[in-house]
Amino acid sequence: MGIQFRGSYTVTVTPFTADGAAIDYEALKRFLDWQIECGVPGVIILGTTGEFLTISDEERHAYVDATVKHVNGRMHVLVGAMNASTPKAAAYAKMAEDLGADGLMILPPYYYTPTEDEIYGYYKAICAATKLPIMLYNNPFTSNVDMSAKLVAKLTAAFEQVQYIKEASTDVGRVFDVIRESKGAMNVFAGERIVESFLLGAVGYVDPFGNYIPRATQKLWRLLEAGRIDDAKRIQAHITKIEHTIAEGHPTYGHQCYSKALASLAGYPVGDVRPPLTTFASLGDEGKQRLAVLSGVMQELDKLLAEIG
């Protein structure tokens, strides 16, 4: 294995201009520099949090190019290259490789509820198009399919590019199952339940909270690696408060609009979300009230980080 991905990788928002019509590249540069300053080992762009479905192919090319060039080797850049169309996903993968990305994160073909044979064929075609390491993305809530540990092990054995998985099925025991079925060959990244996933063998975390509390999520992972599990759990408890506060709203509010509002609160404005997602601006008083609660949790986290040292 060449490049190794380890630790807490921020799955980033895509910064937009105020009217949402274009990508805000100055905001992107400021945001990426902040991630690097906070010790983030890598970013994953154009994932679910990055609103990849709202990005045109022309924007995709320009955005990947700008990200890779600005990062300039200071951290890893992985690119979400999923699509319901196999040829298009393969083309996105090749584009990312041609533009200098370090790796890919790829969801199975969504909407169609594909069979395991169809999923296998999809990844086979993508692997024929690129040599970049691939992080499978198992999220049955968005792809409408749950990749079993046996299927993941089969893909790992068949394709040398398939080296990682973001496991977001909510079944934390799946981390152990994937490692066992693949005979330790698959490197699992937690999609949630960070501490528990680490204790079951996860080597990293795909981190949406890094969009606004990157110092805390980086500290959490370093504490885990240092064996300071109880201190890591204290940070995770605050992250759980953030997650629950967001989840109490209408489901379509999602992490995207709150991630952007909270990034702005942290000093890194990145605009609002594109349709059809609910904008933060449209939430009115409810959004302001939740943002005040979330701001309080972020302040508590700052105090906790100072206490933990």
Tell me the pLDDT tens digit for each residue of 65-104.
Answer: 999 999 999 999 999 999 999 999 999 999 999 999 999 9
CATH assignment at residue 41:
3.20.20.70
Kindly state whether residue 284 falls inside one of the protein's structural domains: no
Instruction: Name the residue range of residue 64's domain.
Output: 7-229
Distance CA 267, CA 132 (A): 34
What is the pLDDT of the chain when averaged over all its residues?
A: 96
Q: Annotate 85-108 with b (16+ C-beta within 10 A) or e (fewer).
A: ebeebbbbbbbbbebebbbbbbbb
- Asked if residue 252 has pLDDT above 80, the reply is no
Q: How many residues does the chain have?
A: 309
Kindly state whether residue 167 falls inside one of the protein's structural domains: yes
Kindly state whether residue 244 falls inside one of the protein's structural domains: no
Kindly state whether residue 287 falls inside one of the protein's structural domains: no
Kindly state whether residue 142 falls inside one of the protein's structural domains: yes
Distance CA 270, CA 261 (A): 8
- Asked if residue 251 has pLDDT above 80, the reply is no
Q: Looking at residues 204-227, what average pLDDT do you find?
A: 98
Give pLDDT, residue 253. Answer: 58
Q: Looking at residues 227-240, what average pLDDT do you find?
A: 98
Give pLDDT, residue 31. Answer: 98
Kindly state whether residue 297 falls inside one of the protein's structural domains: no
Q: Hey, which residues are catalytic here?
A: 137, 166
Kindly state whether residue 189 falls inside one of the protein's structural domains: yes
In one-letter notation, the amino acid at residue 133 is P
- pLDDT-based confidence at 143, cuts 50/70/90? confident
Q: Considering the entire predicted model, what is its pTM? A: 0.97
For the chain, what is the domain count? Answer: 1
Kindly state whether residue 38 falls inside one of the protein's structural domains: yes
